[in-house]
Structure 1
Amino acid sequence: MSSIQDKINKLADERKEDLIEILRSLVAFRTESPPARNTEEAQHYIKYLLRDLGFETEEWGLFPGDTIVAGTKPGRNSEQYQSLILNGHIDVVAAGDEDEWEHTPFELRKDGDFLYGRGTADMKGGMASTLFALQLLRELGVELDGDLYFQSVTGEEAGEAGTKSCVDRGMQADFAVVADTSDLAIHGQGGVITGWITIKSKTTHHDGLRSRLIHAGGGIVGASAIEKMMKVIQGLQELERHWAVTKVYPGFLPGSTTINPSVIEGGRNAAYIADECRLWITVHFHPNETYKEVAEEIQQHVLAVAQGDPWLKENPPSFDWGGKSMIEDRGEIFPAIDIDENHPGLVMLKNQHHQVSKQEAVVSMSPTVTDAGWLGQAGIPTVIYGPGKLEEAHSLNERVELQQLIHHAKVLAGFIEKWCNTERSTLNG
């Protein structure tokens, strides 16, 4: 083990109370989403921490009341040495009925080996251990030759793509680590897109005319949009089953590519035949697909189903894919992210994990999604590596193991020191 890693490990164990205090401060900010629009105070706290750590910071609005904070620590020789992005989100899911919690969800509680509170696993724990890793490097006087970036985003829990706003501002690096919930495994991920399918009749009919519509042989060419949507749902089920036997990808179980009819809306009131019906679907896809390709595949299949129905053929479904927010426009996109197990950044992170834990790092695919896909889509080799178990994320009495937070900080600090002090030429041949 390198001498710097020895020093990091020793200091991390000595200063673990500092880590707990960072997490205590983060948990105390009620950054629930929904309702969202409540992260400015938490982001100001992170901004001042970053400044104290020697970062140049910038802050911008994502939505009113929700901001993004990005920090840059320029390297001593940026043009020749590797750069790194550290990324995480500050928003958490709603705590729900706080009376059901054993203790208040926004006051960190230590009980044995665990720390309890909303966001401890997803992912204020990962934010805290990342910031703690940066503190360790500062206290040890570690200098970096390559640029180091820290992104504290919001909107992840509502598909609002705070990370995408970082990418849109041109932020790039040679490698990125997203400290989201992975139980200290190194993860890639599949992707998710939501979409609305709408069936709308050209004519609105009164309920009194139902007996005369085409289904009853009454002579009026009309139909219920709700009933016709049932054919679309059946077609989606058939496509989902087809995907289950035709779409395979390493790290995913058969059937991982799902089409979930999540919400259905339709009709005016009981006095009318439903002249419109809207179906909200959530689609999971593999890393070798894009959300645009998957949306197009579903769209073509549904239109083919419509061609087999005389009424739908004349009143074809329409589609509205994705969106910028589950809160603002009821839509979201999470791009997939593949991982290259031979990439120097992944290999180095894996080796660092082994040095600290004496165990091989698990490299696999996450069963959920994070903002990491936006970094990958921007051409930045990216992995998810963070503390916390997925079964704890969003749960009642959410918790994270303290030792796992410390372990994450040790590995990340050692990795930062090694990666940002590695010349690009040594990795590029």
Structure 2
Amino acid sequence: MSSIKEKIDRLAEERKEDLIGILRSLVACRTESPPARNTGDAQGYINDLLQELGFETEEWELFPGDRIVCGTKFGKNRERYQSLILNGHIDVVAAGDEAEWEHPPFELRKERDFLYGRGTADMKGGMASSLFALQLLCELGIELKGDIFFQSVTGEEAGEAGTKSCVDRGMHTDFAIVADTSDLEIHGQGGVITGWITVKSKTTHHDGLRSRMIHAGGGIVGASAIEKMMKVIQGLQELERHWAVTKAYPGFPPGSTTINPSVIEGGRNAAYIADECRLWITVHFYPNETYEDVAEEIEQHILAVALGDPWLKHHPPLFEWGGKSMIEDRGEIFPAIDIDESHQGLVMLKNQHREVSRREAAVSMSPTVTDAGWLGQAGVPTVIYGPGKLEEAHSLNEKVELGQLVEHAKVLAGFIEKWCNTERSSTND
């Protein structure tokens, strides 16, 4: 008699075209962000597919026009057995000038063992292989004793916390897998927070008065907010260099804690001394830090810099941190997530990967960020494990290897069958 693994592997190979069909349908939905507010067709397709697979589904809007779908299949003995979240985002980055693509970006194209199209690597490929894994289990009639949740969220590409909205609705499990781009490695991640620093004058001066302002030896106590922002930027650079030699974390190269001056805005017009300047920064931090602590550290350093300036000490910089959307309020937060290599879920996933691929799954830290941090922050042990190479994400002529999609589906299907049929009492907390 064939083992469950053999049955899954055989059926996955026989039904590759079904996997390609799922991905083709997802790629055809133009869920670009920005502009966003366009996930209805894609989420409707996923909702219907989940219902066909026996899931109870619920939908809500993160923003008008951007839907989230969550499917739930309750286990036969849910109080005693492990539960699981499969998570992924349906939004993709903009394709840009489509004339530069070799083929239309929203029409899936297969060449040899590669599938081309916007989102194939980040991360509609991972969504398709995850749904295909559920399809395999359903067709084989494999019953699960523990609960399984499938979260299809939006907003990840624009810092809009669709996954956080799932957490806020009380979705909590024993383990979670985010199928974002990781080249079938098992990843944790650092975190990101954006912030605005504002330098503002209490008065506005005409350009003709510049020669009489304090920097030129005149009698007017005034300054250009743009020029004073240069001191703030210098202070941020000093702090970034300090972090590079004082902070470290396993899995990250030195200097991964960065402070990027992303956007600068200021001034009225050429007839005035700039009375306000705003700087938008993006901050990367390690898993052993919180975004609140990092923001506080930056504020304290910049306020100390301001005390050393004769004008800034009376006009201290103002700070705004985070936000709900890069589109709505030009702000975002991605919590970091550490990984416990001894956790039973991670160990089981590694073993399943080895059984399917005949090689070890690397366990490391992602150089980018995903929605996984929101699940981890809610107390759900979470890893990133998905198909696709990071260099393909957001790229022209984006592609993913079909063989890797199939492998991901095989690993997931086998893992789900084992994890959701494992009693909670045997978990290594």
Query: TM-score normalised by the shorter chain: which range applies?
Result: over 0.9
For residue 416 of structure 1, report the CA deviation from its aligned partner.
0.3
- 2-structure distance, mates of 1:54, 1:301: 54
Aligned to 2:94: 94
CA deviation vs aligned residue, 1:350-374 (integer Å, no higher than 9, x gap):
0000000110000000000000000
- 5+ unaligned residues in a row in structure 1: which ranges? none
- 2-structure distance, mates of 1:45, 1:293: 41
**How does 1:340-355 map onto structure 2 within 5 Å?**
340-355=340-355
For residue 134 of structure 1, report the CA deviation from its aligned partner.
0.2
Asked if 1:157 is matched to 2:157, the reply is yes
For residue 41 of structure 1, report the CA deviation from its aligned partner.
1.2
- 2-structure distance, mates of 1:336, 1:327: 22
Aligned to 1:317: 317
Deviates more, 1:2-11 or 1:74-83: 2-11
For residue 425 of structure 1, report the CA deviation from its aligned partner.
1.1
Aligned to 1:406: 406
- 1-structure distance, mates of 2:427, 2:387: 28
Secondary structure of 2:361's counterpart equals: coil
For residue 313 of structure 1, report the CA deviation from its aligned partner.
0.4
Asked if 1:236 is matched to 2:249, the reply is no
1:299 partner amino acid: E
- 1-structure distance, mates of 2:77, 2:128: 28
Asked if structure 1 preserves the Cα contact closer than 8 Å seen for 2:236 and 2:302, the reply is yes
Aligned to 2:365: 365
Aligned to 1:424: 424
CA deviation vs aligned residue, 1:201-229 (integer Å, no higher than 9, x gap):
01100001000000001110000000000
Asked if 1:53 is matched to 2:49, the reply is no
Aligned to 1:104: 104
CA deviation vs aligned residue, 1:71-97 (integer Å, no higher than 9, x gap):
000000010000000000000000000
- 1-structure distance, mates of 2:5, 2:156: 32
Secondary structure of 1:152's counterpart equals: strand
- 2-structure distance, mates of 1:2, 1:300: 63
For residue 428 of structure 1, report the CA deviation from its aligned partner.
5.0
Structure 1 runs of 4+ off > 4 angstroms? none
CA deviation vs aligned residue, 1:301-355 (integer Å, no higher than 9, x gap):
0000000001000000000000000000000000000000000000000000000
Asked if 1:10 is matched to 2:5, the reply is no
2:62 partner amino acid: L
CA deviation vs aligned residue, 1:120-176 (integer Å, no higher than 9, x gap):
000000000000000000000000000000000000000001000000101000000
- 1-structure distance, mates of 2:169, 2:293: 26
CA deviation vs aligned residue, 1:172-196 (integer Å, no higher than 9, x gap):
0000000000000000000000000
2:75 partner amino acid: G
Aligned to 1:293: 293
Asked if structure 1 preserves the Cα contact closer than 8 Å seen for 2:195 and 2:320, the reply is yes
Asked if 1:73 is matched to 2:35, the reply is no
Secondary structure of 1:310's counterpart equals: coil
Secondary structure of 1:203's counterpart equals: coil
Aligned to 2:256: 256
- 2-structure distance, mates of 1:427, 1:184: 24
For residue 2 of structure 1, report the CA deviation from its aligned partner.
8.2
- 2-structure distance, mates of 1:96, 1:425: 51
- 2-structure distance, mates of 1:72, 1:138: 14
Aligned to 1:169: 169
For residue 16 of structure 1, report the CA deviation from its aligned partner.
0.3
Q: Relative to structure 1, is the Cα distance of residues 176 and 144 closer, same or farther in structure 2, using a 3 angstrom cutoff?
A: same
1:218 partner amino acid: G
- Alpha carbon RMSD of aligned pairs, Å? 0.9
Aligned to 1:38: 38
1:297 partner amino acid: E
Asked if 1:182 is matched to 2:182, the reply is yes
1:153 partner amino acid: V
Alignment length (residue pairs): 429
For residue 264 of structure 1, report the CA deviation from its aligned partner.
0.3
Fraction of identical pairs, as percent: 85
Secondary structure of 2:299's counterpart equals: helix
Secondary structure of 2:93's counterpart equals: coil
For residue 427 of structure 1, report the CA deviation from its aligned partner.
2.2
Secondary structure of 2:392's counterpart equals: coil
- 2-structure distance, mates of 1:193, 1:345: 29
Aligned to 1:247: 247
Asked if structure 1 preserves the Cα contact closer than 8 Å seen for 2:342 and 2:428, the reply is no
- 5+ unaligned residues in a row in structure 2: which ranges? none
For residue 40 of structure 1, report the CA deviation from its aligned partner.
1.1
Secondary structure of 1:264's counterpart equals: strand
- 1-structure distance, mates of 2:205, 2:410: 67
Q: Relative to structure 1, is the Cα distance of residues 146 and 2 closer, same or farther in structure 2, using a 3 angstrom cutoff?
A: farther
1:283 partner amino acid: V
Secondary structure of 1:391's counterpart equals: helix
- 2-structure distance, mates of 1:195, 1:235: 15
CA deviation vs aligned residue, 1:374-396 (integer Å, no higher than 9, x gap):
00000000000000000000000
